[in-house]
Structure 1
Amino acid sequence: MKADFHMHSCFSDGSETIMQIFFIAKERGLKAAAITDHDTILGMKEEEKASKKYCIPYIPAAEFTAAEKRMKFHVLGYGIDPENPELLRYSNCFLEQMNERSRLQIRKMQRDGIEIEEKEFFEKAGGGPLYRAKLLGVLADHGILKREEIMESLHSYFGKGAPYEEEDRFHYRSFYEVCTMIKEAGGNVVLAHPGKIKRKDVQLYHALLREECLDGVEVYHHDNPEDVRAELLAVAGDRHLMVTGGSDYHGIYMKKPVLPGAEELPEEMAEGLKHLLSGKRTNSFDSTFV
């Protein structure tokens, strides 16, 4: 099935606008999509416009950061309300605090002789938080580093002990709190790329898969090896959980760039997700989706 339910735009840490992503999706023959920007729903009105323009139904979604045992991991919320007051408040708070950190980093750069105005950096943000990769994207525009070096340079610019290191002071919520926020916004809780969690903390991985508030698991993701995919499918079958997947597209801000729709999704995934779609164009869509 040609669809992608995990992509990121410039409203979070992606390099492309939502309209650009839907254009690429149309060119690649995608039948459905979801922009899952990090810790924000501020791009959803633009997603609705893009869906209408390119006739691609979408699932209103976001990817939230949870913190447990001093480790951060991600939780996808599918079918959330774009007008939910708490999600809007959370999104605006995240935007404000991320941008304040970026201002401190820009000032450090300027003190080091990087003569680029703050305004130019924020223009690169495209309406979303000014993530570190976007800061380096501006440096690449000025020839200070190569575009293909952006992701591998993050640590040397912003990592522990790096010249432009600045602590992330945003208060990330616990898994339970994130689940509550998603569900109160009418959404479904899906554990994002669980293979990443398993590599870092196998006990946390198994504990999360047992959580009652879980509605689904992201199986089809490049960070899930085949054995993890098989394990997740077994858990989903036993617990009657939704199965999701996608490319995790970030435009140029990826160590190994891929295009929307790069992750091949099986036909049977559609039946469990089509009820979440917004922007269906015709009743005949169901027959082409499944």
Structure 2
Amino acid sequence: MSGARRFEGPIDLHTHSRVSDGTQTPRELMLDAAASGIRTVALTDHDSTAGWAEAAEAAAEARITLIRGMEFSTRVRGTSVHLLAYLFDPDDPGIVAETGRIRDARFDRAQRMVERIGADYPLTWEDVLAQAQDGTTIGRPHIADALVERGHAATRTDAFGGILHWRAGYYQPHYAPEPMEAVRLVTAAGGVPVLAHPATRGVGDIVSEQRLGQLVDAGLFGLELDHRENKPEPRARLEQMAKRYGLAITGSSDYHGAGKVNRLGENTTTPEVLDRLIERASGVPPLYA
């Protein structure tokens, strides 16, 4: 998509609404971003584009630029590796089929976990559904919120550190494709893929130079290195690898509303990188303010 544009104000390329595991509707998120001084924001709900239309309407009202995106679930040897996908065609058959499979797997996994937890704590599937809106990609955060509502945890963070921690015995895995497959799907749909927070504990250990090189060959655009959860040592290693491969470096908040401590705009992306990202895309355009 040609035509560089001057972006005024902070650019936050990673946020979540209630369509996945945020605590605000897409409209509330856009209005909150505008009130926080963010001038360009990406909505990147997990494995879903269901919030795009509502976000677009609110972004136009708030006079901020919307970058339509998604956080794509992938997995390497049991470790969750997320891929941010920007400006892809949401009707692309490959994207539609794979994200539908992932959402179904998340739903089934959540039901299995609730059944296991319910054997030891008063918790039902209806409790979890009460924490989600129609079309939501249901996951562990909704179980966490239900545990808080039932008084089994003080906060979502406490729930993840306790009952939902894998050591507690209730955790169940869910299907997700390999990162390579996700990168190929996103690029085939005209989108631009960026590895999300790749220097976090566990993820940083499996993103080897060989694997990164393969992802670059498949179309990887960048690494989200300016993120509060990235660890210093793997971040420094990945920064050097980004320079060798010519990868862009992005920064984002990974905002979830009240679901996490992350604040809008705490990390941002430069206008120059966003211009390059838009130039690469051929799926859907940004919705400019």
Task: Specify the TM-score bucket, using the shorter chain as the normaliser.
Answer: 0.7 to 0.9
Q: Measure how far apart 1:177 and its partner are.
A: 0.9
Amino acid of the structure 2 residue aligned with 1:167: Q
Q: Is the 8 A contact 2:113 2:172 kept in 1?
A: no
Q: Choose 212-221 or 180-189, whichever is displaced more.
A: 212-221
- Report the equivalent of 2:132: 125
TM-score, scaled relative to structure 2: 0.81
**Greater shift in the superposed pair: 48-57 or 269-278:** 269-278
Mapped contact 1:42–1:88 kept (Cα < 8 A): no
For these two proteins, the number of residue pairs brought into alignment is 273
Asked whether 1:173 is paired with 2:177, we answer yes
Change (3 A) 1:69 1:103: closer
Q: Secondary structure at the match of 2:146?
A: helix
1: distance between equivalents of 2:71 and 2:16?
A: 9
Mapped pair 1:15 → 2:30: no
Residue 284 of structure 1 is matched in structure 2 by none
Contact 1:60–1:81 under 8 Å retained in 2: no
Structure 2 distance, partners of 1:153, 1:113, is 13
Cα shift at 1:72: 2.5
Match of 1:5 in 2: 13
Quick one: which of 185, 189, 193 aligns to 2:189?
185
Structure 1 contact 40–94 (Cα < 8 Å) conserved: no
Q: Is the 8 A contact 2:88 2:191 kept in 1?
A: yes
The one of 155, 158, 163 equivalent to 1:157 is: 163
Contact 1:193–1:224 (Cα < 8 Å) also in 2: yes
Decide whether aligned partners of structure 1 residues 160 and 222 sit closer, same or farther in structure 2, where only a CA change above 3 A counts. Answer: closer
Where do 5+ consecutive residues of structure 1 fail to align?
Answer: 282-290
**Offset of 1:251 from its aligned partner?**
2.2
Contact 1:40 1:62 in 2 (8 A): yes
- Matches of 2:42 and 2:60, distance apart in 1: 14
After superposition, give the CA deviation of every residue in 1:36-85 in whole Å (9 maximum; x if it has no partner): 22222232223222322322212221122222234321222122112223
Q: CA deviation at 1:120?
A: 4.2
Instruction: Tell me the alpha carbon deviations over residues 205-257 of structure 1, each in whole angstroms, 9 at most, x when there is no partner.
Output: 32233231222222321233566656555544443333322011122333xx0
Q: Hey, what's the Cα distance between the residues in 1 that align with 2:121 and 2:193? A: 46
Give the CA RMSD over aligned residues. Answer: 2.8
Question: Where does the alignment leave 5 or more consecutive residues of structure 2 unmatched?
Answer: 1-8
Matched, 1:247 2:253: yes
Aligned residues with identical type, % of pairs: 25
Greater shift in the superposed pair: 223-232 or 21-30: 223-232
Contact 1:44/1:82 (8 A) holds in 2: no
2:58 matches 1:50: yes
**Mapped partners of 1:56, 1:274: distance in 2:** 16
Deviation at 1:168, TM superposition (A): 2.3
Indicate the SS of the match to 2:122.
coil
CA pair 104-195 structure 1, distance change in 2 beyond 3 A: closer
CA apart distance, 1:181? 0.9
